[in-house]
């Protein structure tokens, strides 16, 4: 890049001197349209349960989803993402509860779709909330079996579509699952349902609080490095994304977000496709605890989200969605 100008004729501080001029020349901004709100669902009746490792985030029983959905509607959040806290007695080695039409996600979809029009619903396609071992797939001979897992994931995706899901989001990182899910959706007259592929999901240390939230952490006895991406790699992300686009992905998710801004930027520049970032639970909790203990300013929340937009993210899955939406609406 050729730099135009020379001091003292050029003084870049001139366009930073006042709030109004900083607003005029700002290159990136955040709107409510950039926000996706994750929601955790649990069993029982009349339950709102705080998640200790994620301050300010709760699990809701299906009958209390209106508490958070009303806030999402009032804030004009465009989409929510559902995640279940499956009871221990409904977990098994194959994650069969994922295919139960009365599981927590299916109940939640029926509840939301009956009461809230105009808000999109995204559903996670993966088995880790349902398996007794906490992995995203079926274990055969001590290894995750890619193809056997896909057979279950396809059925899970079709069930979610039948219940009213708007965006199917495979987060499992099995090879080839996007294309098979797309074919199954199209064959069953769900051509208009979007697929948001977690194409570049890294084997990260930042998922701990989320695994608490869905109840998989206590069961997980080994890492997920045989199917999630190595955090040392970037070129591999291009291969993953390219394959998923060819298989029919409408949108791409990069997860985690804050430590992979380079991936977001490079994928967006290369493929010109909607790219979404997930500000994951560990990122959220670090900022939340930092603000609570006055180690950092609350403005760090907005700064972190603007970083995603600056990197090229089309939208952000963030547990700060309601707080930021409220702040944006006041400006």
- Calpha distance 311→277 (Å, rounded): 10
User: Quick check: is 327 catalytic?
Assistant: no
Of the candidates 91, 201, 268, 288, the residue annotated as catalytic is 201
Q: What is the DSSP string of 277-328?
A: EE--HHHHHHHHHHHHTTSS-THHHHHHHHHHHHHT-SEEE-TTHHHHHHHH
Contact 159, 99 (CB under 8 A): yes
- Per DSSP, helices labelled H in the chain are 19-25, 65-75, 104-115, 146-162, 177-187, 208-214, 235-247, 261-271, 281-292, 299-311, 321-330
Provide the token pair at 119.
């808000």
Of the candidates 91, 224, 255, 268, the residue annotated as catalytic is 255
- Calpha distance 253→256 (Å, rounded): 9
Neighbours of 204 (CB within 10 A): 18
H or E, element range at 125: strand 120-125
Contact 171, 224 (CB under 8 A): no
User: Quick check: is 255 catalytic?
Assistant: yes
Q: List the one residue out of 4, 36, 23 whose CA is nearest residue 325.
A: 36
Contact 229, 240 (CB under 8 A): yes
From residue 234, alpha-carbon distances to 230, 267, 307 in Å are: 9, 10, 19
- Calpha distance 182→150 (Å, rounded): 12
Q: What amino acid positions are annotated as catalytic residues? A: 201, 255
């Amino acid at each position: 890049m050729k730099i135009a100008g020379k001091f003292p004729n050029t003084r870049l501080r001139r366009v930073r001197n006042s709030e109004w001029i900083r607003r005029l020349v700002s290159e990136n901004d955040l709107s409510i349209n950039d926000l996706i709100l994750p929601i955790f669902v649990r069993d029982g009746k009349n339950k709102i349960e705080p998640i200790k490792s994620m301050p300010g985030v709760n699990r809701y029983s299906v009958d209390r989803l209106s508490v958070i959905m009303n806030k999402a509607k009032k804030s004009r959040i465009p989409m929510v993402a559902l995640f279940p806290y499956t009871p221990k007695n409904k977990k098994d080695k194959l994650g069969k509860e994922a295919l139960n039409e009365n599981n927590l996600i299916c109940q939640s979809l029926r509840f939301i779709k009956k009461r809230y029009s105009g808000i999109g619903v995204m559903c996670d396609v993966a088995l880790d909330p349902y398996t007794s071992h906490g992995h995203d797939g079926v274990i055969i001979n001590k290894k995750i079996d890619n193809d056997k897992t896909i057979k279950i994931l396809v059925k899970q995706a079709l069930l979610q579509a039948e219940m009213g899901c708007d965006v199917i989001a495979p987060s499992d990182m099995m090879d080839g699952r996007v294309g098979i899910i797309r074919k199954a959706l199209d064959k069953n007259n769900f051509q208009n349902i979007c697929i948001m592929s977690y194409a570049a999901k890294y084997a990260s240390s930042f998922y701990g609080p989320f695994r608490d939230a869905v109840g998989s952490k206590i069961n997980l006895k080994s890492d997920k490095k045989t199917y999630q991406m190595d955090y040392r790699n970037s070129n591999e992300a291009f291969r993953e994304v390219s394959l998923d686009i060819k298989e029919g992905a409408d949108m791409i998710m990069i997860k985690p977000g804050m430590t992979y801004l380079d991936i977001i930027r490079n994928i967006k520049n290369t493929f010109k496709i909607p790219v979404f970032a997930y500000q994951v639970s560990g990122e959220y909790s670090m900022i939340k605890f930092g603000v609570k203990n006055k180690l950092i300013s609350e403005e760090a929340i907005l700064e972190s989200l603007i970083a995603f937009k600056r990197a090229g993210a089309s939208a952000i899955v963030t547990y700060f969605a309601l707080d930021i939406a409220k702040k944006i609406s006041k400006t």
